[in-house]
Amino acid sequence: YKSARPNNAACRAPGVVNSVSTHELVMEIAAEVTNLDPEEVRERNFYREGDTTPFGTRLGGDFNWSLPQLWDDAKRKWDVAQRRARIEAHNKANTWRKRGISMIPIKYNMAGQDGGHYRISSSVRVLRDGSVQLSHGGVEIGQGIHTKAAQAAAHALGCDVDAVTVAETSSDQCPHSTSTGGSGTSEMSVLSVLDACAKIRQEL
């Protein structure tokens, strides 16, 4: 049965938005009670390298945990401290018009290196002229998976990214991935390419 009324069924990743809103509200309340910046409260609650998630993934071992570095880089590049000071000055000078700034990290569980849902293959070939050809099991639909794979290969092999060519996805090159979702295919395709490049470097 169809009608003009909006569908009330769950969309992709049901419950994620609800839970994120709830725990970020808790962070804001904790910051207000302790008189700390909300970002500092969030930082103090980051996972630490070596921690194990509720899903059994060990950060820094099974999973490349780069959030603290990304967080620090973002604060520096976005001038968060200076912008916060300007915002506070503006809010003190204006009774009715207020401004705000916030940084919120989001963790979306992905089954990856720990033997979960994502099984991605890749094929990397280094030619005599120094160029690199690669293919992987993911499908490029505008999310940039080919670019990420090429950048990973260039970084791992120490060549310019312009020397890397990515073939369109085809099962005559390597099998398709088992499943996709939550950007997992992109991340695991990159990991597969890095693994292939590491093996090539061992042989060179």
Tens place of pLDDT per residue across the chain (204 aa):
567 777 666 666 677 778 888 989 999 999 999 999 888 999 999 988 888 888 777 887 666 778 888 999 999 999 999 999 999 999 999 999 999 998 888 876 655 444 456 778 899 999 999 999 999 988 888 888 999 999 999 999 999 999 999 998 888 888 777 766 666 788 888 989 999 999 999 988
Provide the sign of the torsion angle of the four alpha carbons 39, 106, 26, 49, taken in this order.
negative
Beta-carbon count within 10 A of 124 CB? 23
- 29 token code pair: 């309340």
Chain segment 9-18, per-residue pLDDT in tens: 666 667 777 8
CA distances from 201 to 48, 149, 157, 162, 164 (A): 31, 17, 7, 19, 16
Q: Of the candidates 141, 116, 14, which has an alpha carbon nearest to the alpha carbon of residue 55?
A: 116
Q: What is the rounded distance in angstroms from the CA atom of residue 197 to the CA atom of residue 164?
A: 12
Please state the separation of Cα 80 from the chain's center in Å: 21
Q: What is the rounded distance in angstroms from the CA atom of residue 40 to the CA atom of residue 34?
A: 11
Chain segment 24-50, per-residue pLDDT in tens: 999 999 999 999 988 899 999 998 888
The reported pTM is 0.57
| Helix segments in the chain, DSSP class H | 16-34, 38-44, 67-77, 80-93, 145-157, 184-203
